């Protein structure tokens, strides 16, 4: 693209949509015209962006008749299923934040530090992976390239902002002594819920299967053996993950640390003598993926443990989407 692109943001008034605007501004993303779209109930709202006020319009089947180059979708799966193909048919590239298109073989699933080349074969839709998958892929890709991962065990500790404004409200109210349950089937304050998204017939949740399936697709390796347990915890922002890896090749621990330090998007915080390791509160608001507690798994040959923390609304959603758009305009 030689000219500055025209952008649309669908779901502009939600948690991810509003963060996306913040990231576009911080990264000084170039654009000519900007359109905001949302459901009928949000239409007419005003959004200030870069010193200008915009009116949110209702998303309809005619919304994409305008000259738009890139459309960010953050309005849920059913909206994406219906409207992304309409936008794509008009020559617009959709960067979609929902789960609607992630496992479609004709749609690239992209983490820019990991598989930027996959942007090139899009047919008008590029999927943003699940938040918990994105942050895991950033450190796993260089390790897989070097040592070949054989097996992965994901255990996640996921923030309530992953459930949007309702999740944040549940925790705020719970901490104030009111057990409201708008986002979850149980109180979240003082609790850990081993239940993110709905349960499937195999006993896993959809969130767990997303991590398993998306990891194979992004790393381009169906032979990987992966299991996951995803847990919602009473933390406002940033997902934390314990990742256990089994490699085919032996590794040197210092070499692993050096490799991660040199990898794009990774920040190593691993100074145990001074109690330095990634913390959700400190990572909130940042765009990198933070890695610590890097140690051997002594129970298995070529085993490694990592503690991985990232801001789930930024790198796990908004920032990753903007990075994809940056690849497109390159």
Indicate which residues carry an active-site annotation. 131, 239
Half-sphere exposure of 269 (CA within 13 A, CB side): 18
Q: What is the DSSP letter of 277?
A: -
Triad 110, 151, 199: Cα angle to 5° = 70
Owner of token pair 């305009």: 329
Q: How many CB atoms lie within 10 A of CB 2?
A: 4
Phi, then psi, of 293 in degrees rounded to 5: 50, 40
Q: Maximum CA pair distance of the chain?
A: 60
Q: Would you say the C-alpha torsion 284, 209, 154, 120 has a positive or negative sign?
A: negative
Q: Would you say the C-alpha torsion 251, 255, 261, 262 has a positive or negative sign?
A: negative
Tokens of 28: 């000084």
Q: How many CB atoms lie within 10 A of CB 224?
A: 17
β-strands 289-297, 303-310: how paired?
antiparallel
Q: Would you say the C-alpha torsion 307, 320, 36, 53 has a positive or negative sign?
A: positive
Task: Quote the CA–CA distance of 244 and 228 in Å, as a whole number.
Answer: 10
Q: What is the DSSP letter of 264?
A: T
Task: Quote the CA–CA distance of 257 and 269 in Å, as a whole number.
Answer: 10
């Amino acid at each position: 693209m030689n000219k500055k692109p025209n952008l649309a943001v669908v779901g502009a008034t939600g948690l991810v949509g509003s963060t996306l605007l913040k990231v576009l501004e911080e990264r000084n993303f170039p654009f000519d015209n900007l359109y905001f779209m949302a459901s009928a109930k949000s239409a007419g709202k005003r959004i200030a962006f870069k010193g200008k006020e915009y009116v949110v319009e209702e998303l309809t089947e005619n919304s994409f008749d305008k000259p738009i180059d890139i459309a960010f979708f953050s309005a849920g799966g059913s909206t994406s299923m219906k409207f992304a193909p309409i936008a794509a048919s008009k020559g617009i590239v959709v960067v979609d934040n929902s789960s609607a298109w992630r496992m479609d073989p004709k749609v690239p699933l992209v983490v820019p530090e990991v598989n930027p080349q996959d942007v090139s074969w899009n047919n008008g839709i590029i999927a943003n992976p699940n938040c918990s998958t994105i942050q895991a892929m950033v450190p796993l890709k260089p390790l897989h390239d070097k040592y070949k991962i054989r097996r992965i065990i994901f255990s996640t500790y996921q923030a309530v902002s992953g459930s949007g404004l309702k999740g944040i409200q549940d925790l705020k109210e719970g901490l104030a002594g009111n057990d409201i349950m708008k986002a979850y089937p149980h109180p979240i304050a003082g609790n850990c819920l081993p239940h993110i998204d709905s349960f499937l017939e195999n006993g896993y949740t959809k969130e767990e299967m997303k991590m398993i399936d998306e990891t194979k697709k992004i790393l381009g390796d169906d032979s990987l053996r992966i299991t996951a347990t995803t847990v919602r915890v009473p933390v406002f922002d940033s997902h934390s993950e314990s990742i256990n890896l089994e490699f085919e090749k032996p590794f040197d621990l210092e070499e692993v640390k050096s490799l991660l330090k040199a990898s794009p998007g990774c920040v190593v915080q691993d100074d145990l003598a001074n109690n330095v390791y990634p913390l959700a509160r400190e990572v909130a608001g940042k765009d990198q993926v933070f890695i610590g507690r890097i140690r051997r798994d002594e129970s298995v040959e070529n085993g490694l443990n990592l503690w991985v923390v990232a801001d789930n609304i930024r790198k796990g959603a908004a920032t990753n989407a903007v990075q994809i758009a940056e690849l497109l305009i390159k």
